[in-house]
Structures are given as structure tokens and as C-alpha cells.
Amino acid sequence: NAGVTQTPKFQVLKTGQSMTLQCAQDMNHEYMSWYRQDPGMGLRLIHYSVGAGITDQGEVPNGYNVSRSTTEDFPLRLLSAAPSQTSVYFCASKTGTGVSVGEKLFFGSGTQLSVL
Amino acid sequence: KNEVEQSPQNLTAQEGEFITINCSYSVGISALHWLQQHPGGGIVSLFMLSSGKKKHGRLIATINIQEKHSSLHITASHPRDSAVYICAVITGNQFYFGTGTSLTVIP
């Protein structure tokens, strides 16, 4: 099992450019999610999905799009990058949408994104 | 408005000390997670709690649903415990996170 694979690890964009952060999990998890981590603010939920074809907004969704065409993949798209989107991004997944005994949240290794 | 508050923000301890990190939350939750973020940035899940107490090795986590409070204890702390510890609550399908407690254990 690779767990949660997140790419790329580092990315530099110019304002207005677009890009996609990739996230894949091989644990057959229903729940997948994207977060940004900024100094002094902690992790904040951007978007999440509870299964293929189902996505919903989190706390800070503006400027980001997601889709979930398969159980395994949950890409995050920045359509027109802005300096305010400079952050560290994490993808995470867990077993289901309820509360399961022994449930854990599995994180990708993170993406450091800089928008100039 | 922060749904999740952690204390202390920073903590320095001598090796062997007993450590407590606190988490208070203001929303109704279905579960609470304690996470550990390593100095290199990776995040791992330590516990998921919906009631009572859990223990794993030297780590103990408790939750009081009525008081909306959880604590993470580390017994016999070790320098390898140095990390940021993050409290996260889930309400519905939304996660809310504390800003973390940075722990440094000195040999």
C-alpha cells in the first residue's frame, strides 16, 4: 500500500497561471479532502468528497475546483493562481463518512506552492 | 472565530517529563482526532476519539463531550516526541483544526 500519494512536492506559479495538484489513495477510502496550511492559522478544509461523483465545499473553497471521477483520485485545480494561494497543501483520506472504530485520517506528504 | 482552540501554543520539556496538551472546541462533533506533524512536515494520525479514553504506548488521549474538551498526555517524554501536535474535530463531514502545539523535548 502506498497510502496517499500527493504530487508535486514543490511548485512555483506566476499570478494567473493554472495548475492541478494530484492526490491518489490505494486504500479504497470513501472520504477524501484537501487542506491548506498557513502560518498561525492551522489547517483549513478547502473541499472534500464522500465518494465518486460527490464533492462539497469546505471552509475556504474560493479559487479552487475539485472533481472525483474515481474512488482513488481527487485532484485540486487552481484555475487562476493568486499570491494569496501561496501555502502548503495537504490531501487526506479516511475510511468512511461516519465514525468508525480505529478510524484514522491519512495524509499525503504535502505540496509547497508559491504564487509570484 | 476559531472552532478549535489549543493550549499551550509552545511547550518545552525536559526528557522524562509528563506532558499535557489541551484542546477545547465550540461545535457539536462526531469525533476528535489528534495528529502529529513532524519537523519535516509530514502529518500522521495518533488517535480518533468519540468518547472516553484511548492509550497507545506512552500516549493517552481523553475526551469529555459535555465539557467539549480533550487532552493529549505524553508520559516519560523523549526528544523524538518533539513535533507539532494538532487537534481536529469533525462535524458532519467537515474537519476543523486547532493551530497546533509545538513541543520540544530537551535531552
| pLDDT of A100 above 70 | no
Q: With H, G, I as helix, E, B as strand and everything else as coil, classify residue A95.
A: coil
Q: How far is B79 from chain A (nearest CA, A)?
A: 23
Question: By the CB < 8 Å criterion, does A27 face chain B?
Answer: no
- Whether A69 and A39 have beta carbons less than 8 Å apart is answered as no
| pLDDT of B104 above 90 | yes
pLDDT tens column, A10-61:
999 999 999 999 999 999 999 999 999 998 888 999 999 999 999 999 999 9
Rounded distance between C-alpha atoms, residue A100 and residue A3, angstroms: 18
Q: How far is B16 from chain A (nearest CA, A)?
A: 28
Q: Which of A30, A35, A43 is nearest to A93 (CA)?
A: A30
pLDDT tens column, B49-99:
988 999 999 999 999 999 999 999 999 999 999 999 999 999 888 999 999
Best mutation target, B5, B86, B90, to test chain A (most A CBs within 10 A) = B90
Query: Strand runs (DSSP E) across chain B, as ranges?
Result: 4-7, 10-14, 19-25, 31-37, 43-49, 52-56, 59-64, 69-74, 83-91, 94-97, 101-106
Minimum-distance CB partner of B31 among A41, A50, A99: A99
| pLDDT of A98 above 70 | no
pLDDT at A103: 80
Query: Strand runs (DSSP E) across A1-116, as ranges?
Result: 4-7, 10-13, 19-25, 31-38, 42-51, 54-57, 64-66, 76-78, 87-94, 106-107, 111-115
pLDDT at A53: 94
- Tell me if B95 and A98 make a contact (CB, 8 A cut-off): no
pLDDT tens column, A85-95:
999 999 999 98
- Tell me if B94 and A58 make a contact (CB, 8 A cut-off): yes
Rounded distance between C-alpha atoms, residue A54 and residue A51, angstroms: 5
- Tell me if B43 and A107 make a contact (CB, 8 A cut-off): yes
| pLDDT of B41 above 90 | no
Q: Which of A94, A90, A96, A95 is nearest to A113 (CA)?
A: A90
Q: How far is B47 from chain A (nearest CA, A)?
A: 7
- Tell me if A99 and B88 make a contact (CB, 8 A cut-off): no
pLDDT at A101: 65
